[in-house]
Each structure stands twice: as C-alpha cells, then as structure tokens.
Amino acid sequence: MISTPTAVTEPRLRLRAAAVAGAFLLNGIAFGAWAARIPAVQAQTHLDEAALGFALLGTGVGAVLTMTAGGWLGGRLGTHIVTPVTTLACGAMLPIIASSWDFASLLVALFVFGIWQGTMDVCMNANGLAVERAGAGPIMSRLHATWSIGSFSGALISAEVAALGIPVLPEFAVLGAVLAVGGVVLFWAMLPDRHAEGGGGGLRLPTGRLALLGTLAMVGLLAEGSASDWAGVYLHRSLLASEGTAALAVATFAGCMAVARLAGDKLTILLGQGLLVSGGATLSAVGLSLALAVPVPEVAIVGFGLMGLGLAAVVPTLFRAAGSQPGIPSAVGIAAVSTMGYAGGLLGPPIIGTLAHAASLRGALLLVLVMLVILAISGRGALAPARSVEATGT
C-alpha cells in the first residue's frame, strides 16, 4: 500500500506535477548536454570508435546494476526523496566526466554517472505514476516529452557552446550547478510516494508480461541510445561535419522526440499501444535508412529527426504498462522492465563501436536498423493483449 494520501487538492497537485516534470527536464538536460559533447570528449581522451564504444558501456552497466535496487529503495525511502538525491549526484558527476583524460577515467566516470542516472530514471517515472493516480490524469507521455525537451535543450546548448569553442569542463560545471539547485527545489516540491515494506515485494525479476515488455524495451532503448550516442559521431567522423553541426543531429533527434511525445497520451488512447509502437518503429527505421543512405549532413539530420519522432512513443508506453501491473508497485515494475531494457541497450555502444572500427560506422548502424524493423513487425502483436485503457493510469 502507498502511504501517500490518495486525494490531493488541485493547486497542490499542479505543484507536484510540475515538480516531477522538473525532474524529467533536469535529467534530460544532463543527458542531452553530455551526448552532444561526446565528439569533444572523444578527441580529448584520444579514443577511437571501438574504445569509445566500450567507454560508453559504463553508463549502461552502472544503470543496469542499480535499477532494480533503485526501484526497491524508491519504494522504501520514497521516490520523492531518492529523485532529488540522484539529481544532485548527476550534477556532481558532469564536471568529473568533462575532466576525463583517457579510457579508464572516462569509463569510471560514466559508470558512476549511470548509477545515478538509472536510479533517478526509475524513481521519477514511479513518482509520475503516483501523480497520475492522485488525480492528475494521464501525464506519462508529457513527462517523457519534458525529458526530451530537456535533452534537446541540453544538446542545443552544447552545440552553441561547441561552436563558440568553449571547452567541455566550464560548460558542465555550470550545468552541474543548475542540477544541484534543481535537486534542492525537488526536495520540498515532489509528491510524497513511499510504499510499505520497502516497495511491497522488494526486488523482482522480469517474468511473464514484464519479460515481454522488457524485451521490447531492449530494442527501443538500444535504438534510442544509439541515436543519442552515435548521431554526432556519425556526422563528425563519417560525414566530416563540424562539431557544431554534428551536435545539431543530437539536438534534432531529441527535439523531434519531444514534439511527438507531447501528443503521446492522446495518441495512445486513439490508436492503441501496439499500433503506436509498431508505426513509430516503422517511421524510425525510415529515418535511419535516410541518414545512412544519403551521406549529406543536412539529410542525415532530417533522418535522425524522423527517428526521434518514431521512437517517441516506445519508452513511455512500455514504462506505463510496466508500472500498471496488478499487485506490483510501480517503482518495482518499472525497475524490472528498465533493467531488462538497459541490459540489452547497453550492448549497443560496444557492438557498434567494434563494428565501426572493423568496417565503418555507417555499416555498424545497420544493426540498429535491423532491430527497428523487428520492433515494427512484432510491436503491435506483443502489446495487443494490453488494452489502451492502461493509458488512463487506472
């Protein structure tokens, strides 16, 4: 049982909804700013694509190893406590990442960053579901849209900073301070959300329907992470675009995802979960095909934008479904699916990096295209048993 009161006055509920949206925004800013400066950090650490791919693996490993425990911790201490703490921690890690000088230092920094990012991800999603159930109605897609707006903003800021020739460390020091201030505000503004007995069942491995949702999450998160991690590198290294232009690919991907997610809650009810995910995967595959087939930076940016539009519905739909399973606390269900999804997604960076080193980055990204085709074919049928009523949060 949730110890939080089930009824919240409307003005107070608006504050709670704005607070959890703020958490999504800050998390997105941190992620987008980092993703857009990957080419600069690669140059700073003198890593080739294969080494960079394995370094990027650190974020996924850190997240996977702690997501399930993070869901349990959020249930026991309260997602309204764990989310602000991890916001502060993410802010503290940004300057450390920017100070990396070789493979080992970058790997360790990203591993710790992944721990805090993954735990924050689980707890802020669970808090969003708590706000839905307190009377706000379906807001999960809009929350993920807010994350994408943050990611777009962070990437755009980094693109402008990179174009001005400003190093990564000063930028990330300022962003870290912004996250620290935001974390303090979240402490008093988020909706109290704590489950009895450490989350009503503790740690849970994904089985049955959770395993099915987790399998789809593997594909969606692999594709989403590949675009964030490699779009800028692809333009900079393969298409010889400037660092500023390369960062725009990441910003466009995140911005288009944000626009699509603003309509995601209504589209889920209108089209149903399966059709929305399957159709989105198809559009995403078309976009990536365009980016790979036409070696022109401007065309590739459009392609990654289409990819963002298509992938927008996947993660919010899967997380809502995972957090709405009968008898399973939302934080625990989300943690189970997130862990399985990120466990598959974390394999993307080293595989793509290794294939890029052996052949070409364009050829390596064909693997992502194949995964998107698989998602497009299987997504509708896999989600068909779950009625779109889940989108109401009831």
Is it the case that residue 342 has pLDDT exceeding 90? no
Has residue 2 been placed in a domain?
A: no
Is it the case that residue 162 has pLDDT exceeding 80? yes
Is it the case that residue 381 has pLDDT exceeding 80? no
Query: What pLDDT sits at residue 6?
Result: 44
pLDDT digits (tens, 9 = 90+) for 173-183: 999 999 999 99
Has residue 120 been placed in a domain?
A: yes
Is it the case that residue 298 has pLDDT exceeding 80? yes
Evaluate whether 212 touches 341 at the Cβ level (below 8 Å): no
Has residue 345 been placed in a domain?
A: yes
Considering 62-76, 91-105, 118-132, the range whose residues carry the highest mean pLDDT is: 91-105
Q: Give the chain's domain count.
A: 1
Has residue 5 been placed in a domain?
A: no
Structural tokens at position 34: 């980092």
Angstrom distance (rounded) from CA 299 to CA 291: 6
pLDDT digits (tens, 9 = 90+) for 246-289: 888 988 998 898 888 888 878 877 888 788 888 999 999 999 99
Has residue 240 been placed in a domain?
A: yes
pLDDT higher for 81 or 394?
A: 81
pLDDT digits (tens, 9 = 90+) for 246-256: 888 988 998 89
Query: What pLDDT sits at residue 206?
Result: 60
What CATH number is associated with residue 104?
1.20.1250.20
Is it the case that residue 29 has pLDDT exceeding 60? yes
Has residue 1 been placed in a domain?
A: no
Has residue 3 been placed in a domain?
A: no
Is it the case that residue 126 has pLDDT exceeding 70? yes
Is it the case that residue 195 has pLDDT exceeding 80? no
| Listed residue (3, 151, 22, 56) closest to 347, CA to CA | 56
Has residue 196 been placed in a domain?
A: no
Question: How many Cβ atoms are within 10 Å of 10's Cβ, its own excluded?
Answer: 9
pTM, whole model, 2 decimals? 0.70
Query: What pLDDT sits at residue 138?
Result: 73
Residues of the domain holding 149: 10-191+201-392
pLDDT band at 61 (very low <50, low <70, confident <90, very high): confident
Quote the mean pLDDT of the chain: 83
Q: Name residues whose C-beta falls within 8 Å of residue 374's C-beta, 6 or more positions apart in sequence.
A: 219
Evaluate whether 35 touches 298 at the Cβ level (below 8 Å): no
